[in-house]
Protein backbone atom coordinates (compact mmCIF):
# COMPACT_ATOMS: atom_id res chain seq x y z
CA UNK A 1 0.00 0.00 0.00
CA UNK A 2 1.27 3.44 -0.88
CA UNK A 3 1.74 5.46 2.29
CA UNK A 4 -1.03 7.87 3.14
CA UNK A 5 1.37 10.81 3.61
CA UNK A 6 2.76 10.36 0.11
CA UNK A 7 -0.78 10.35 -1.18
CA UNK A 8 -1.62 13.65 0.46
CA UNK A 9 1.57 15.22 -0.84
CA UNK A 10 0.70 14.30 -4.41
CA UNK A 11 -2.90 15.29 -4.24
CA UNK A 12 -2.43 18.85 -5.36
CA UNK A 13 0.10 18.04 -8.11
CA UNK A 14 -1.67 15.33 -10.07
CA UNK A 15 -4.87 16.18 -11.86
CA UNK A 16 -7.93 14.02 -11.26
CA UNK A 17 -8.11 10.97 -13.51
CA UNK A 18 -10.47 11.44 -16.46
CA UNK A 19 -12.47 8.35 -17.30
CA UNK A 20 -15.45 7.32 -19.36
CA UNK A 21 -18.55 6.90 -17.21
CA UNK A 22 -19.71 3.38 -16.23
CA UNK A 23 -21.91 1.86 -18.87
CA UNK A 24 -22.79 -1.58 -20.11
CA UNK A 25 -21.44 -2.21 -23.58
CA UNK A 26 -23.08 -3.63 -26.66
CA UNK A 27 -21.11 -4.66 -29.73
CA UNK A 28 -23.17 -3.34 -32.66
CA UNK A 29 -21.01 -4.88 -35.39
CA UNK A 30 -21.22 -8.36 -36.90
CA UNK A 31 -18.59 -10.72 -35.53
CA UNK A 32 -15.55 -11.69 -37.61
CA UNK A 33 -16.00 -15.25 -38.82
CA UNK A 34 -12.77 -17.07 -39.57
CA UNK A 35 -14.48 -20.38 -40.37
CA UNK A 36 -17.41 -21.34 -42.57
CA UNK A 37 -20.55 -22.88 -41.11
CA UNK A 38 -19.43 -26.23 -42.54
CA UNK A 39 -16.04 -25.96 -40.89
CA UNK A 40 -17.63 -25.12 -37.53
CA UNK A 41 -19.88 -28.13 -37.96
CA UNK A 42 -16.91 -30.36 -38.81
CA UNK A 43 -15.15 -29.28 -35.61
CA UNK A 44 -18.30 -29.86 -33.57
CA UNK A 45 -18.92 -33.31 -35.09
CA UNK A 46 -15.34 -34.30 -34.37
CA UNK A 47 -15.90 -33.24 -30.73
CA UNK A 48 -19.02 -35.40 -30.51
CA UNK A 49 -17.21 -38.44 -31.91
CA UNK A 50 -14.42 -37.86 -29.39
CA UNK A 51 -16.92 -37.72 -26.51
CA UNK A 52 -18.70 -40.84 -27.73
CA UNK A 53 -15.66 -42.92 -28.56
CA UNK A 54 -13.14 -41.85 -25.92
CA UNK A 55 -14.91 -39.54 -23.49
CA UNK A 56 -13.43 -37.71 -20.51
CA UNK A 57 -11.76 -38.97 -17.38
CA UNK A 58 -13.76 -37.64 -14.44
CA UNK A 59 -11.76 -38.05 -11.24
CA UNK A 60 -14.57 -37.07 -8.87
CA UNK A 61 -16.75 -39.99 -7.81
CA UNK A 62 -19.92 -38.00 -7.19
CA UNK A 63 -19.64 -36.38 -10.60
CA UNK A 64 -19.32 -39.81 -12.22
CA UNK A 65 -22.42 -40.99 -10.33
CA UNK A 66 -24.39 -37.95 -11.52
CA UNK A 67 -23.33 -38.57 -15.11
CA UNK A 68 -24.08 -42.28 -14.93
CA UNK A 69 -27.55 -41.64 -13.52
CA UNK A 70 -28.24 -39.37 -16.49
CA UNK A 71 -27.27 -42.06 -18.97
CA UNK A 72 -23.57 -41.53 -19.62
CA UNK A 73 -21.40 -44.62 -20.02
CA UNK A 74 -19.07 -44.76 -17.00
CA UNK A 75 -16.11 -47.12 -16.57
CA UNK A 76 -15.44 -47.27 -12.80
CA UNK A 77 -11.90 -48.64 -13.27
CA UNK A 78 -10.55 -46.10 -15.74
CA UNK A 79 -12.95 -43.36 -14.52
CA UNK A 80 -13.66 -42.68 -18.20
CA UNK A 81 -17.09 -41.24 -18.99
CA UNK A 82 -18.36 -41.53 -22.54
CA UNK A 83 -21.14 -39.24 -23.69
CA UNK A 84 -23.80 -40.09 -26.20
CA UNK A 85 -24.30 -37.18 -28.61
CA UNK A 86 -28.00 -37.15 -27.84
CA UNK A 87 -27.30 -36.60 -24.16
CA UNK A 88 -24.81 -33.80 -24.90
CA UNK A 89 -27.11 -32.04 -27.32
CA UNK A 90 -30.12 -32.33 -25.05
CA UNK A 91 -28.31 -30.96 -22.00
CA UNK A 92 -26.33 -28.23 -23.74
CA UNK A 93 -29.58 -26.91 -25.23
CA UNK A 94 -30.71 -26.12 -21.66
CA UNK A 95 -28.01 -23.48 -21.09
CA UNK A 96 -29.68 -20.03 -21.06
CA UNK A 97 -28.51 -17.70 -23.82
CA UNK A 98 -28.35 -14.77 -21.42
CA UNK A 99 -28.11 -14.09 -17.68
CA UNK A 100 -27.90 -11.17 -15.31
CA UNK A 101 -25.42 -10.91 -12.46
CA UNK A 102 -26.48 -9.06 -9.38
CA UNK A 103 -24.08 -6.52 -7.90
CA UNK A 104 -24.21 -4.91 -4.47
CA UNK A 105 -24.96 -1.65 -6.26
CA UNK A 106 -27.92 -2.40 -8.56
CA UNK A 107 -26.51 0.09 -11.08
CA UNK A 108 -23.53 -2.26 -11.45
CA UNK A 109 -25.61 -5.33 -12.35
CA UNK A 110 -24.44 -6.79 -15.67
CA UNK A 111 -26.31 -8.79 -18.27
CA UNK A 112 -24.25 -11.11 -20.46
CA UNK A 113 -25.32 -12.81 -23.69
CA UNK A 114 -26.13 -11.77 -27.25
CA UNK A 115 -24.13 -8.69 -28.22
CA UNK A 116 -23.50 -7.56 -24.65
CA UNK A 117 -19.93 -7.42 -23.48
CA UNK A 118 -18.26 -6.90 -20.10
CA UNK A 119 -14.64 -6.44 -19.05
CA UNK A 120 -13.19 -8.16 -16.00
CA UNK A 121 -9.82 -7.74 -14.22
CA UNK A 122 -7.02 -10.33 -14.23
CA UNK A 123 -7.06 -13.19 -11.78
CA UNK A 124 -4.74 -16.06 -10.98
CA UNK A 125 -1.17 -14.67 -11.12
CA UNK A 126 1.29 -15.79 -8.46
CA UNK A 127 3.10 -12.44 -8.50
CA UNK A 128 2.41 -8.75 -8.81
CA UNK A 129 4.55 -5.95 -10.14
CA UNK A 130 4.72 -2.18 -10.36
CA UNK A 131 7.41 0.29 -11.39
CA UNK A 132 8.21 1.30 -7.81
CA UNK A 133 8.57 -2.04 -6.13
CA UNK A 134 9.29 -4.41 -9.02
CA UNK A 135 8.07 -7.97 -9.42
CA UNK A 136 7.31 -9.61 -6.10
CA UNK A 137 4.99 -11.92 -4.20
CA UNK A 138 1.93 -9.88 -3.42
CA UNK A 139 0.44 -9.27 0.01
CA UNK A 140 -3.11 -8.87 1.27
CA UNK A 141 -2.55 -5.10 1.26
CA UNK A 142 -1.48 -5.26 -2.40
CA UNK A 143 -4.51 -7.31 -3.42
CA UNK A 144 -6.78 -4.84 -1.60
CA UNK A 145 -5.23 -1.99 -3.59
CA UNK A 146 -5.86 -3.98 -6.76
CA UNK A 147 -9.50 -4.41 -5.70
CA UNK A 148 -9.78 -0.67 -5.09
CA UNK A 149 -8.50 -0.03 -8.60
CA UNK A 150 -10.95 -2.54 -10.08
CA UNK A 151 -13.68 -0.66 -8.25
CA UNK A 152 -12.42 2.77 -9.35
CA UNK A 153 -12.00 2.03 -13.05
CA UNK A 154 -15.40 2.56 -14.69
CA UNK A 155 -14.44 0.49 -17.74
CA UNK A 156 -14.07 -2.57 -15.49
CA UNK A 157 -17.47 -4.24 -15.23
CA UNK A 158 -16.47 -7.10 -12.97
CA UNK A 159 -13.66 -7.86 -10.55
CA UNK A 160 -12.04 -11.13 -11.64
CA UNK A 161 -11.19 -12.81 -8.31
CA UNK A 162 -8.43 -10.81 -6.59
CA UNK A 163 -5.77 -9.90 -9.14
CA UNK A 164 -3.00 -12.12 -7.69
CA UNK A 165 -2.25 -14.35 -4.71
CA UNK A 166 -1.87 -12.61 -1.31
CA UNK A 167 1.06 -14.77 -0.31
CA UNK A 168 1.26 -13.40 3.24
CA UNK A 169 -2.02 -15.18 4.00
CA UNK A 170 -2.22 -18.96 4.59
CA UNK A 171 -3.52 -20.78 1.51
CA UNK A 172 -6.18 -22.63 3.53
CA UNK A 173 -8.03 -19.47 4.61
CA UNK A 174 -6.86 -16.90 2.06
CA UNK A 175 -10.13 -17.12 0.19
CA UNK A 176 -12.08 -16.05 3.30
CA UNK A 177 -10.07 -12.87 3.70
CA UNK A 178 -10.32 -12.15 0.02
CA UNK A 179 -14.08 -12.75 -0.21
CA UNK A 180 -14.48 -10.43 2.76
CA UNK A 181 -12.33 -7.79 1.06
CA UNK A 182 -14.29 -8.19 -2.18
CA UNK A 183 -17.53 -7.67 -0.23
CA UNK A 184 -16.11 -4.60 1.47
CA UNK A 185 -14.21 -2.82 -1.27
CA UNK A 186 -16.40 -3.45 -4.31
CA UNK A 187 -19.93 -2.59 -5.24
CA UNK A 188 -19.49 -4.29 -8.62
CA UNK A 189 -19.85 -8.03 -9.22
CA UNK A 190 -16.79 -10.11 -8.41
CA UNK A 191 -15.64 -13.63 -9.04
CA UNK A 192 -15.14 -16.24 -6.33
CA UNK A 193 -13.04 -19.37 -6.82
CA UNK A 194 -14.35 -22.82 -7.73
CA UNK A 195 -11.28 -24.68 -6.48
CA UNK A 196 -12.81 -27.30 -4.19
CA UNK A 197 -16.00 -27.57 -2.23
CA UNK A 198 -15.03 -25.40 0.73
CA UNK A 199 -13.99 -22.33 -1.25
CA UNK A 200 -17.22 -22.60 -3.19
CA UNK A 201 -19.54 -23.06 -0.19
CA UNK A 202 -17.84 -20.17 1.63
CA UNK A 203 -18.46 -17.85 -1.31
CA UNK A 204 -22.10 -18.84 -1.48
CA UNK A 205 -22.64 -18.49 2.28
CA UNK A 206 -20.91 -15.12 2.39
CA UNK A 207 -22.96 -13.88 -0.57
CA UNK A 208 -26.13 -14.88 1.29
CA UNK A 209 -24.95 -12.74 4.21
CA UNK A 210 -23.89 -9.84 1.99
CA UNK A 211 -27.18 -9.76 0.09
CA UNK A 212 -29.29 -10.58 3.16
CA UNK A 213 -30.81 -13.55 1.40
CA UNK A 214 -30.82 -17.36 1.42
CA UNK A 215 -29.70 -19.90 -1.18
CA UNK A 216 -33.05 -19.69 -2.93
CA UNK A 217 -32.83 -15.91 -3.17
CA UNK A 218 -29.24 -16.19 -4.38
CA UNK A 219 -30.25 -18.65 -7.10
CA UNK A 220 -33.01 -16.35 -8.31
CA UNK A 221 -30.64 -13.42 -8.69
CA UNK A 222 -27.13 -14.87 -8.98
CA UNK A 223 -24.21 -12.60 -8.10
CA UNK A 224 -21.50 -15.07 -9.10
CA UNK A 225 -19.69 -16.11 -12.21
CA UNK A 226 -16.82 -18.53 -11.59
CA UNK A 227 -14.33 -20.23 -13.89
CA UNK A 228 -13.93 -24.01 -14.05
CA UNK A 229 -10.94 -25.29 -16.01
CA UNK A 230 -10.45 -28.81 -17.29
CA UNK A 231 -7.16 -30.70 -17.06
CA UNK A 232 -6.72 -30.78 -20.79
CA UNK A 233 -6.62 -33.22 -22.48
CA UNK A 234 -9.88 -34.87 -21.52
CA UNK A 235 -9.75 -34.79 -17.74
CA UNK A 236 -11.82 -33.12 -15.02
CA UNK A 237 -10.14 -33.03 -11.62
CA UNK A 238 -11.73 -33.32 -8.18
CA UNK A 239 -11.53 -29.70 -6.92
CA UNK A 240 -13.02 -28.32 -10.11
CA UNK A 241 -15.79 -30.94 -10.15
CA UNK A 242 -16.61 -30.10 -6.52
CA UNK A 243 -16.68 -26.41 -7.29
CA UNK A 244 -18.86 -26.68 -10.35
CA UNK A 245 -21.37 -28.91 -8.57
CA UNK A 246 -21.67 -26.42 -5.69
CA UNK A 247 -22.08 -23.37 -7.90
CA UNK A 248 -24.40 -25.10 -10.36
CA UNK A 249 -26.60 -26.35 -7.52
CA UNK A 250 -26.69 -22.83 -6.16
CA UNK A 251 -27.75 -21.45 -9.56
CA UNK A 252 -24.58 -19.44 -10.02
CA UNK A 253 -22.88 -19.01 -13.41
CA UNK A 254 -20.14 -21.53 -14.21
CA UNK A 255 -17.78 -20.53 -17.00
CA UNK A 256 -16.31 -23.75 -18.41
CA UNK A 257 -12.86 -23.05 -19.80
CA UNK A 258 -10.66 -25.86 -21.14
CA UNK A 259 -6.99 -24.94 -20.91
CA UNK A 260 -6.09 -25.96 -24.44
CA UNK A 261 -2.59 -24.99 -25.51
CA UNK A 262 -2.04 -26.21 -29.07
CA UNK A 263 1.18 -28.21 -29.28
CA UNK A 264 1.22 -29.13 -25.56
CA UNK A 265 -2.14 -30.16 -24.06
CA UNK A 266 -3.82 -29.95 -27.46
CA UNK A 267 -2.88 -31.00 -30.98
CA UNK A 268 -0.44 -28.81 -32.88
CA UNK A 269 -3.21 -27.99 -35.38
CA UNK A 270 -5.74 -25.31 -34.41
CA UNK A 271 -8.70 -27.27 -35.78
CA UNK A 272 -7.74 -30.21 -33.57
CA UNK A 273 -7.28 -28.09 -30.47
CA UNK A 274 -10.57 -26.28 -31.09
CA UNK A 275 -12.29 -29.65 -31.43
CA UNK A 276 -10.73 -30.79 -28.15
CA UNK A 277 -11.72 -27.51 -26.44
CA UNK A 278 -15.25 -27.90 -27.74
CA UNK A 279 -15.50 -31.53 -26.57
CA UNK A 280 -14.31 -30.72 -23.05
CA UNK A 281 -16.53 -27.65 -22.75
CA UNK A 282 -19.57 -29.59 -23.90
CA UNK A 283 -18.86 -32.48 -21.52
CA UNK A 284 -18.63 -30.18 -18.50
CA UNK A 285 -21.63 -28.12 -19.60
CA UNK A 286 -23.55 -31.40 -19.83
CA UNK A 287 -22.59 -32.23 -16.24
CA UNK A 288 -23.70 -28.76 -15.08
CA UNK A 289 -27.08 -29.10 -16.78
CA UNK A 290 -27.60 -32.53 -15.23
CA UNK A 291 -26.82 -31.07 -11.80
CA UNK A 292 -29.18 -28.15 -12.33
CA UNK A 293 -31.16 -28.02 -15.56
CA UNK A 294 -31.25 -24.50 -16.95
CA UNK A 295 -28.45 -23.24 -14.69
CA UNK A 296 -26.64 -20.28 -16.28
CA UNK A 297 -23.24 -21.14 -17.74
CA UNK A 298 -20.66 -19.86 -20.20
CA UNK A 299 -18.55 -21.31 -22.98
CA UNK A 300 -14.98 -20.29 -22.17
CA UNK A 301 -12.13 -20.47 -24.66
CA UNK A 302 -8.49 -20.21 -23.80
CA UNK A 303 -6.92 -21.83 -26.85
CA UNK A 304 -3.44 -20.54 -27.56
CA UNK A 305 -0.24 -22.17 -28.72
CA UNK A 306 3.14 -22.95 -27.24
CA UNK A 307 6.53 -21.84 -28.47
CA UNK A 308 7.59 -25.08 -30.16
CA UNK A 309 11.25 -24.38 -29.40
CA UNK A 310 10.82 -24.13 -25.62
CA UNK A 311 7.43 -25.68 -25.00
CA UNK A 312 6.37 -22.62 -23.03
CA UNK A 313 2.99 -21.03 -23.67
CA UNK A 314 2.63 -17.98 -25.88
CA UNK A 315 -0.34 -15.61 -25.73
CA UNK A 316 -1.73 -12.90 -27.94
CA UNK A 317 -0.35 -14.76 -30.95
CA UNK A 318 -2.05 -14.73 -34.37
CA UNK A 319 -3.19 -18.29 -33.62
CA UNK A 320 -4.72 -17.04 -30.36
CA UNK A 321 -6.71 -14.39 -32.26
CA UNK A 322 -8.01 -16.89 -34.80
CA UNK A 323 -8.90 -19.38 -32.06
CA UNK A 324 -10.82 -16.70 -30.15
CA UNK A 325 -12.81 -15.77 -33.24
CA UNK A 326 -13.51 -19.44 -34.08
CA UNK A 327 -14.49 -20.14 -30.46
CA UNK A 328 -17.01 -17.32 -30.62
CA UNK A 329 -18.51 -19.04 -33.65
CA UNK A 330 -18.71 -22.33 -31.75
CA UNK A 331 -20.33 -20.66 -28.73
CA UNK A 332 -22.90 -18.92 -30.94
CA UNK A 333 -23.59 -22.23 -32.67
CA UNK A 334 -24.51 -23.63 -29.25
CA UNK A 335 -26.33 -20.44 -28.19
CA UNK A 336 -24.20 -20.10 -25.05
CA UNK A 337 -22.65 -16.87 -23.70
CA UNK A 338 -18.96 -16.74 -24.61
CA UNK A 339 -15.87 -15.84 -22.62
CA UNK A 340 -12.47 -14.90 -24.03
CA UNK A 341 -9.44 -13.12 -22.51
CA UNK A 342 -6.89 -10.33 -22.92
CA UNK A 343 -3.52 -12.06 -22.74
CA UNK A 344 0.13 -11.46 -23.58
CA UNK A 345 3.50 -13.11 -23.03
CA UNK A 346 5.67 -10.07 -22.32
CA UNK A 347 7.76 -9.77 -19.16
CA UNK A 348 7.30 -6.03 -18.91
CA UNK A 349 4.75 -3.36 -19.88
CA UNK A 350 6.29 -2.57 -23.25
CA UNK A 351 5.45 -2.67 -26.95
CA UNK A 352 5.17 -6.48 -26.99
CA UNK A 353 2.77 -6.51 -24.03
CA UNK A 354 0.53 -4.12 -25.95
CA UNK A 355 0.63 -5.64 -29.43
CA UNK A 356 -0.07 -9.09 -28.01
CA UNK A 357 -2.89 -7.65 -25.90
CA UNK A 358 -4.31 -5.91 -28.96
CA UNK A 359 -4.34 -9.22 -30.86
CA UNK A 360 -6.18 -10.81 -27.92
CA UNK A 361 -8.66 -7.98 -27.48
CA UNK A 362 -9.62 -7.77 -31.13
CA UNK A 363 -10.12 -11.53 -31.15
CA UNK A 364 -12.30 -11.32 -28.04
CA UNK A 365 -14.35 -8.33 -29.09
CA UNK A 366 -14.87 -9.23 -32.74
CA UNK A 367 -15.48 -12.83 -31.64
CA UNK A 368 -18.38 -11.34 -29.66
CA UNK A 369 -17.12 -12.46 -26.29
CA UNK A 370 -19.67 -11.57 -23.65
CA UNK A 371 -17.05 -11.59 -20.96
CA UNK A 372 -13.45 -10.56 -21.57
CA UNK A 373 -11.67 -12.15 -18.63
CA UNK A 374 -8.20 -10.91 -17.64
CA UNK A 375 -9.20 -7.81 -19.59
CA UNK A 376 -6.89 -5.63 -17.50
CA UNK A 377 -3.66 -6.25 -15.62
CA UNK A 378 -2.38 -9.54 -17.08
CA UNK A 379 1.35 -9.77 -17.75
CA UNK A 380 4.00 -12.42 -18.33
CA UNK A 381 1.74 -15.20 -19.64
CA UNK A 382 -0.49 -14.78 -16.60
CA UNK A 383 2.21 -15.28 -13.97
CA UNK A 384 2.17 -11.65 -12.88
CA UNK A 385 -0.47 -8.97 -12.37
CA UNK A 386 0.84 -5.51 -13.20
CA UNK A 387 -0.50 -2.29 -11.74
CA UNK A 388 0.69 -0.32 -14.76
CA UNK A 389 -0.68 -2.87 -17.24
CA UNK A 390 -4.03 -2.53 -15.49
CA UNK A 391 -4.09 1.14 -16.51
CA UNK A 392 -2.73 0.57 -20.04
CA UNK A 393 -5.40 -2.08 -20.55
CA UNK A 394 -8.10 0.18 -19.12
CA UNK A 395 -7.16 2.76 -21.76
CA UNK A 396 -7.27 0.12 -24.49
CA UNK A 397 -10.67 -1.05 -23.21
CA UNK A 398 -12.00 2.49 -23.19
CA UNK A 399 -10.87 2.86 -26.79
CA UNK A 400 -12.64 -0.38 -27.72
CA UNK A 401 -15.77 0.84 -25.93
CA UNK A 402 -15.72 3.99 -28.04
CA UNK A 403 -15.05 1.96 -31.19
CA UNK A 404 -18.28 0.10 -30.37
CA UNK A 405 -20.25 3.37 -30.39
CA UNK A 406 -21.84 3.48 -33.84
CA UNK A 407 -21.28 6.44 -36.14
CA UNK A 408 -24.46 8.51 -36.18
CA UNK A 409 -25.63 9.35 -39.67
CA UNK A 410 -28.32 12.03 -39.88
CA UNK A 411 -28.89 15.34 -41.60
CA UNK A 412 -27.42 16.95 -38.55
CA UNK A 413 -24.21 14.89 -38.50
CA UNK A 414 -23.78 14.95 -42.29
CA UNK A 415 -23.26 18.69 -41.74
CA UNK A 416 -23.79 19.71 -45.34
CA UNK A 417 -24.70 23.31 -44.43
CA UNK A 418 -21.79 23.56 -42.01
CA UNK A 419 -19.36 22.44 -44.72
CA UNK A 420 -20.81 24.94 -47.17
CA UNK A 421 -20.62 27.71 -44.59
CA UNK A 422 -16.95 27.08 -43.84
CA UNK A 423 -16.18 26.78 -47.54
CA UNK A 424 -12.97 25.97 -49.43
CA UNK A 425 -9.72 26.41 -47.51
CA UNK A 426 -11.46 27.35 -44.26
CA UNK A 427 -11.54 25.51 -40.95
CA UNK A 428 -14.18 24.23 -38.57
CA UNK A 429 -12.74 25.31 -35.21
CA UNK A 430 -15.08 28.27 -34.84
CA UNK A 431 -18.05 26.85 -36.74
CA UNK A 432 -21.32 26.84 -34.74
CA UNK A 433 -21.71 23.16 -35.77
CA UNK A 434 -18.40 22.45 -34.00
CA UNK A 435 -19.01 24.66 -30.97
CA UNK A 436 -22.30 22.93 -30.23
CA UNK A 437 -20.67 19.49 -30.18
CA UNK A 438 -16.94 19.69 -29.50
CA UNK A 439 -16.97 18.84 -25.81
CA UNK A 440 -18.32 15.34 -26.33
CA UNK A 441 -17.54 14.77 -30.00
CA UNK A 442 -14.44 12.63 -29.57
CA UNK A 443 -12.94 10.17 -27.16
CA UNK A 444 -10.77 11.93 -24.60
CA UNK A 445 -8.03 9.58 -23.34
CA UNK A 446 -7.16 8.72 -19.75
CA UNK A 447 -3.55 7.75 -20.41
CA UNK A 448 -2.48 8.85 -23.90
CA UNK A 449 -0.41 11.98 -24.26
CA UNK A 450 -1.30 13.90 -27.42
CA UNK A 451 0.88 16.92 -26.75
CA UNK A 452 3.48 17.79 -29.37
CA UNK A 453 7.04 16.55 -29.01
CA UNK A 454 8.48 19.78 -27.64
CA UNK A 455 5.84 20.16 -24.92
CA UNK A 456 6.09 16.47 -24.05
CA UNK A 457 9.89 16.73 -23.83
CA UNK A 458 9.77 19.85 -21.67
CA UNK A 459 7.42 18.00 -19.32
CA UNK A 460 10.06 15.30 -18.84
CA UNK A 461 9.60 12.88 -21.80
CA UNK A 462 7.39 10.65 -19.66
CA UNK A 463 6.49 7.41 -21.40
CA UNK A 464 3.12 5.71 -21.22
CA UNK A 465 4.02 3.07 -18.63
CA UNK A 466 5.36 5.75 -16.28
CA UNK A 467 2.20 7.80 -16.78
CA UNK A 468 0.20 4.66 -15.97
CA UNK A 469 2.13 4.43 -12.70
CA UNK A 470 1.01 7.93 -11.76
CA UNK A 471 -2.57 7.17 -12.71
CA UNK A 472 -3.04 4.07 -10.54
CA UNK A 473 -1.57 5.92 -7.58
CA UNK A 474 -3.89 8.84 -8.19
CA UNK A 475 -6.85 6.45 -8.48
CA UNK A 476 -5.94 4.93 -5.11
CA UNK A 477 -5.93 8.42 -3.61
CA UNK A 478 -9.30 9.08 -5.17
CA UNK A 479 -10.82 5.72 -4.24
CA UNK A 480 -14.35 6.21 -2.96
CA UNK A 481 -15.15 3.71 -0.19
CA UNK A 482 -18.40 1.80 -0.67
CA UNK A 483 -19.25 1.09 2.98
CA UNK A 484 -21.20 -2.03 3.85
CA UNK A 485 -24.13 -1.94 6.21
CA UNK A 486 -22.31 -2.34 9.59
CA UNK A 487 -24.53 -5.31 10.51
CA UNK A 488 -23.60 -7.09 7.27
CA UNK A 489 -19.95 -6.22 7.76
CA UNK A 490 -20.07 -7.66 11.26
CA UNK A 491 -21.85 -10.82 10.13
CA UNK A 492 -19.28 -11.39 7.40
CA UNK A 493 -16.45 -10.88 9.90
CA UNK A 494 -18.09 -13.35 12.25
CA UNK A 495 -18.45 -15.92 9.45
CA UNK A 496 -14.77 -15.55 8.53
CA UNK A 497 -13.66 -15.77 12.17
CA UNK A 498 -15.71 -18.88 12.77
CA UNK A 499 -14.43 -20.59 9.66
CA UNK A 500 -10.84 -19.80 10.63
CA UNK A 501 -11.17 -21.56 13.97
CA UNK A 502 -8.61 -24.32 14.10
CA UNK A 503 -7.14 -23.30 10.74
CA UNK A 504 -3.54 -22.08 10.26
CA UNK A 505 -3.11 -18.40 11.15
CA UNK A 506 -1.56 -15.70 8.98
CA UNK A 507 2.20 -15.66 8.90
CA UNK A 508 2.45 -19.42 9.22
Stretch 195-224 residues interacting with its own copies (CB under 8 A)? none
Stretch 379-418 residues interacting with its own copies (CB under 8 A)? 380-381, 383-384, 392, 395-396, 399-400, 402-403, 405-410, 412-416, 418
Instruction: Between 57 and 85, name the residue whose CB sits nearer to its own copies.
Output: 57
Instruction: Between 207 and 349, name the residue whose CB sits nearer to its own copies.
Output: 349
Q: How far is the CB of 96 from its own copies (least distance, A)?
A: 28
Helix, strand, or coil (residue 292): coil
Spatial contact of 234 and 278, defined as CB atoms under 8 Å apart: no
Q: Is the dihedral of CA 357, 360, 364, 367 positive or negative?
A: positive
Q: How far is the CB of 18 from its own copies (least distance, A)?
A: 11
Instruction: Between 204 and 326, name the residue whose CB sits nearer to its own copies.
Output: 326
Residues 127-166, one symbol each (x = binds its own copies by CB under 8 A, - = not), give: --------x-------------------------------
Q: How far is the CB of 388 from its own copies (least distance, A)?
A: 9
CA-to-CA dists, residue 110 to 20, 98, 252, 373, 387, angstroms:
17, 11, 14, 14, 25
Instruction: Between 209 and 446, name the residue whose CB sits nearer to its own copies.
Output: 446
Spatial contact of 94 and 289, defined as CB atoms under 8 Å apart: yes
3-state secondary structure 343-402: CCCCCCCCHHHHHHHHHHHHHHHHCCCCEEEEEECEEHHHCEEEHHHHHHHHHHHHHHHH
Q: How far is the CB of 46 from its own copies (least distance, A)?
A: 4
Angle at the Cα of 76 from the Cα atoms of 64 and 67, rounded to 5 degrees: 20
3-state secondary structure 54-110: CCEEECCHHHHHHHHHCCCEEECCCCEEECCHHHHHHHHCCCCCEEEECCCCHHHCE
25 sits near its own copies (criterion: CB under 8 A): no
Instruction: Between 129 and 191, name the residue whose CB sits nearer to its own copies.
Output: 129
Among 2, 22, 52, 57, binds its own copies (CB under 8 A): 57
Among 219, 362, 479, 491, binds its own copies (CB under 8 A): 362
Spatial contact of 118 and 157, defined as CB atoms under 8 Å apart: yes
Among 138, 160, 233, 382, binds its own copies (CB under 8 A): 233
The DSSP secondary-structure symbol of 18 reads: P
Long-range contact set of residues 212-217: C-beta below 8 Å, sequence gap at least 24: 212/488, 215/250
Among 17, 25, 51, 56, binds its own copies (CB under 8 A): 56
Among 15, 452, 480, 502, binds its own copies (CB under 8 A): 452
98 sits near its own copies (criterion: CB under 8 A): no
Instruction: Between 211 and 428, name the residue whose CB sits nearer to its own copies.
Output: 428
Residue 374 to residue 346: CA distance in whole angstroms: 15
Helix, strand, or coil (residue 25): strand
Q: List CB contacts of 240: < 8 A, sequence separation 6 or more.
A: 194, 195, 228, 229, 230, 231
CA-based radius of gyration for the chain? 24
The DSSP secondary-structure symbol of 164 reads: S
Quote the distance between the C-alpha of residue 344 and its chain's center. Answer: 14
Stretch 420-439 residues interacting with its own copies (CB under 8 A)? 420, 422-429, 431, 433-434, 437-439
Instruction: Between 244 and 276, name the residue whose CB sits nearer to its own copies.
Output: 276
Q: How far is the CB of 156 from its own copies (least distance, A)?
A: 17
456 sits near its own copies (criterion: CB under 8 A): yes
Stretch 307-346 residues interacting with its own copies (CB under 8 A)? 307-312, 314, 317-319, 321-322, 326, 345-346
Using the contact rule CB under 8 A, the part of the chain among 145-153, 244-252, 282-290, 349-357 near its own copies is 349-357
Instruction: Between 82 and 174, name the residue whose CB sits nearer to its own copies.
Output: 82
Amino acid sequence: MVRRSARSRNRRQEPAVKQLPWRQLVNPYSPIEVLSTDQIEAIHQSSLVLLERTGMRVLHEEARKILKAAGADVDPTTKMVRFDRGLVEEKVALVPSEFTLRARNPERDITLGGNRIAFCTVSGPAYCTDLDRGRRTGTFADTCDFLRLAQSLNIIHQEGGWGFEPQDLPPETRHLDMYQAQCRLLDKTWQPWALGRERSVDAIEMACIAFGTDREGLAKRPPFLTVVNTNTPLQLDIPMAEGLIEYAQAGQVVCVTPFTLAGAMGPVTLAGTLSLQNAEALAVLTLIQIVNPGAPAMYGAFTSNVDMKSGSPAFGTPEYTKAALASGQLARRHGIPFRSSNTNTSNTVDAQAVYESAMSLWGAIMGHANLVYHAAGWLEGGLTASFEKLIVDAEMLQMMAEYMKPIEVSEDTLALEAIEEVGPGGHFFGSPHTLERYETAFYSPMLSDWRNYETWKEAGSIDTTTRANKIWKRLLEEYQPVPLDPAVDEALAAYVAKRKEGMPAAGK
